Amino acid sequence: MKKIALVFFMLSAGIAGAQVANEKTIPQINVSGEGKVKVTPDRAVITIGVENTGNDAAEVKKKNDTAVDAIIKYLKANNIAAQDYQTQRVYLNRNYDYNKKKYNFVASQTIVITLKDLSKYDTLMMGMVDAGANTITGVEFRTSKLAQYESEARTKAVQQARLKANDYAAALGQKAGKAIVVTDNSQTYYPMMARNNNMMMEAKAADMQTETLAIGEIEITANVNVSFALE
């Protein structure tokens, strides 16, 4: 029985080795492809914050808590769904001021808000300033149809890879056959507005209607590497 098992193992190993060797000898052409879809964003992810500095930790934290409470109440009053805003970071730290030769305390808290109606951007931002927000750490533009546009971009990427393969193969007097290996190298990227810590205070002081959001377009990109058999 041991001899039969050994013979079977050697035959199996020989067949597997022959298959691997055969696969390695298939002529291939390796190309990359990129697909891009440009769309107008229909939502924004806004990160705002409250920061206060003082000599007493409890007082500083109380100021922050009061402002955050007012901001959350403002969001609720303006029908921003509870699942569309979230506390991201709470921070309280003691710092040493080398110029004044004494310690002070810094308290801060950030809130991330998903705004699904961009026409409300300016009103919402100014309302949060009035409520106590004094920092903006970022605004990211996004689309509610991301999965659809990613699919379109992937299709374009594969089509471009096929076109490249056909061009190279034709130059060699050959044809690009079926795809052997496809590798997805895509990464999602969201454009972000520049950081602004002043929260448009000049606009607030002027007490006038402003338009501060340039929506533009976002680009959904897919990248692939494809290996085609050469015929």
What gap in Å lies between CA 166 and CA 152, rounded to an integer? Answer: 21
Query: What pLDDT, on the 0 to 100 scale, is given for residue 99?
Result: 85
CB neighbours of residue 191 within 10 Å: 13
For residue 47 the two structure tokens come to 């990160």
Query: Per residue of the chain (231 residues), what is the pLDDT tens digit?
Result: 555 554 444 555 555 555 545 556 789 999 999 999 999 999 999 999 999 999 999 999 999 999 999 999 999 999 999 999 999 999 999 988 888 888 999 999 999 999 999 999 999 999 999 999 999 888 999 999 999 999 999 999 999 999 999 999 999 999 999 999 999 998 866 655 544 444 443 444 344 455 667 888 899 999 999 999 999
Whether the model clears a pTM of 0.85, i.e. scores above it, the answer is no
Q: How far apart are CA 144 and CA 41, in angstroms?
A: 8
Please tell me the predicted confidence (pLDDT) of residue 72: 96
Domains of the chain, first to last: 27-40+145-189+214-231 (3.30.110.170), 43-142 (3.30.70.2970)
pLDDT value of residue 113? 97
What is the reported pLDDT for 29? Answer: 94
Helix residue ranges, H only, 82-145: 121-131
pLDDT at 208: 41
Q: How high is the pLDDT of residue 100?
A: 80
Dihedrals φ, ψ of 99, to 5°?
Answer: -75, -45
